[in-house]
Structure 1
Amino acid sequence: MMKKQIMAALLAASSLCLTNSPVLAYPSIFPDSGYSWVGDTMPFFDGEEFRIFYLEDLRDGDTGFHPWSLLTTKDFTDYQHDSKVIPYDTSNEFAKDSALGTGSVVKGKDGLYHAFYTGFNWRSMPKETIMHAISRDLVSWQKVPEDSFHGSKPYIYDDTFRDPNVFYNEDYGEYWMLITTRSKKARGVIALYTSKDLKHWEDQGIFFENDMGSDANMECPTLLKYGDYWYLTFSDQWPSRVVHYRMAKDSKGPFVKPERDYFDASGFYAGKMVEDKDNLYLVGWTPTKAGGKDKNPTDWAGNLVAHQLKQREDGTLYPVPVEKMTERMQKPVEMAPITERGTVNDAGESYHFDGTGYADVVMPKMEGIRKITGHFKVAKQQGQFGLMFNVGPNQTGSLNLVFDPAKQQVAFYNTDTSRVHAAKPELAVPVSLQPDESYDFTLLIDGTVAVLYINDQMALSTRMYDLPEHQWGIFSAGSEVTLTGLQTSTL
Structure 2
Amino acid sequence: MKKQILAGLLAASSFCFTLSPAQAFPAIFPNTGYSWVGDTMPFFDGEEFRIFYLEDLRDGDIGFHPWSLLTTKDFTDYQHDSKVIPYDTSNEFAKDSALGTGSVVKGKDGLYHAFYTGFNWRSMPKETIMHAVSRDLVSWQKVPEDSFHGSKPYIYDDTFRDPNVFYNEECGEYWMLITTRSKKARGVIARYTSKDLKHWEDKGIFFENDMGSDANMECPTLLKYGKYWYLTFSDQWPSRVVHYRVATDSMGPFVKPERDYFDASGFYAGKLAQDKESLYLVGWTPTKADGKDTRPTDWAGNLVAHQLKQRADGTLYPVPVEKVTGRMQKPVALTPILESGGVQSDSSSYHFAGQGYADVVMPKLEGIRKITGHFQMKGQQGQFGLMFNVGPNQTGSLNLVFDPAKQQVAFYNTDTSRVHAAKPELAVPVSLRPDGSYDFTLLVDGTVAVLYINDQMALSTRMYGLPDHPWGLFSSGGEVSLTNLQCSALSGGAAENH
How high is the TM-score relative to the length of structure 2? Answer: 0.97
Distance 1:19 1:460, change over 3 A: closer
Q: Which residue of structure 1 lines up, in the alignment, with residue 409 of structure 2?
A: 410
Q: Does residue 1:262 correspond to 2:261, yes or no?
A: yes
Equivalent positions of 1:449-460 (< 5 A) are: 449-460=448-459
Alpha-carbon deviation of 1:22? Answer: 6.9
- Is 1:73 equivalent to 2:56 in the alignment? no
* 1:311-335 superposed Cα distances (whole Å, 9 cap, x missing partner): 0011100000000011000000011
Structure 2: distance between partners of 1:66 and 1:126: 19
In 1, distance between residues paired with 2:23 and 2:90? 28
Secondary structure at the residue paired with 1:7?
helix
1:19 deviation in Å? 5.1
Name 2:13's counterpart in structure 1.
14
Which moved further from structure 2: 13-22 or 284-293? 13-22
1:236-315 equivalence runs, <5 A = 236-315=235-314
Amino acid aligned to 1:133: A
Q: Gaps spanning 5+ residues in structure 2: where?
A: 491-498
1:490 aligned partner: 489
Match of 2:59 in 1: 60
Task: Give 1:269-418 correspondences, 5 Å limit.
Answer: 269-418=268-417
Q: Deviations over 1:15-49 (max 9, x none)?
A: 54465567353100000011100000000000000
Q: What is the total number of aligned residue pairs between the two structures?
A: 490
Offset at 1:3? 3.0
Compare 5-14 and 80-89 and name the one that shifted more.
5-14
User: Paired residue for 2:132?
Assistant: 133
RMSD: 0.9
Q: Which amino acid aligns with 1:139?
A: V
Task: Give how far 1:156 is off.
Answer: 2.0
Gaps of 5+ in 1: none
Which residue identity does 1:255 align to in structure 2?
F
Show the counterpart of 1:115: 114
What residue is the counterpart of 1:232 in the other structure? 231
CA contact (8 A) 1:22 1:83 kept: no
Mapped to 1, the partners of 2:147 and 2:56 lie a distance apart of 24
Render the CA deviation track for 1:461-491: whole Å, top value 9, x for unaligned. 0000010000000000000000000000001
What is the alpha-carbon distance in structure 2 between the residues aligned to residue 282 and residue 171 of structure 1?
A: 23
> Alpha-carbon deviation of 1:6?
1.3
Between 23-32 and 245-254, report the one with greater CA deviation. Answer: 23-32
Is the partner of 2:363 in helix, strand or coil? strand
Runs of at least 4 residues of structure 1 off by over 6 A? none
Distance 1:280 1:19 in 2: 30
How many Å separate the matches in 1 of 2:66 and 2:8?
20
The alignment partner of 1:90 has SS state of coil
Pair 1:383–1:52, CA change in 2 (3 A): same
Q: Structure 2: which amino acid aligns with 1:318?
A: Y
Output one character per residue of 1:351-404: Cα deviation in whole Å (capped at 9) or x when no partner: 000100000000001010000000000010110000000000101000000000
Aligned to 2:50: 51
User: SS at the partner of 1:159?
Assistant: coil
Q: Which amino acid aligns with 1:398?
A: S
Q: Say which SS state the counterpart of residue 145 (structure 2) adopts.
A: helix
Which one-letter code corresponds to 1:55 in the other structure? L
- Other structure's SS at 2:60 match: coil
Matched-pair contact (CA < 8 Å) for 1:439–1:455:
yes
Does the CA contact (< 8 Å) of 2:128 and 2:161 recur in 1? yes
Q: Secondary structure at the match of 2:207?
A: strand
Q: Secondary structure at the match of 1:91?
A: coil
| 1:201-216 equivalence runs, <5 A | 201-216=200-215
Identity of aligned pairs, percent? Answer: 87
Say yes or no: does 1:193 pair with 2:198.
no
Give 2:110's aligned amino acid.
G
Contact 1:388–1:474, Cα closer than 8 Å, also in 2: yes
Q: How does the TM-score come out when normalised to structure 1?
A: 0.99
Q: Could you tell me which residue of structure 1 aligns to residue 168 of structure 2?
A: 169
SS for the counterpart of 1:157 is coil
Distance 1:169 1:77 in 2: 31
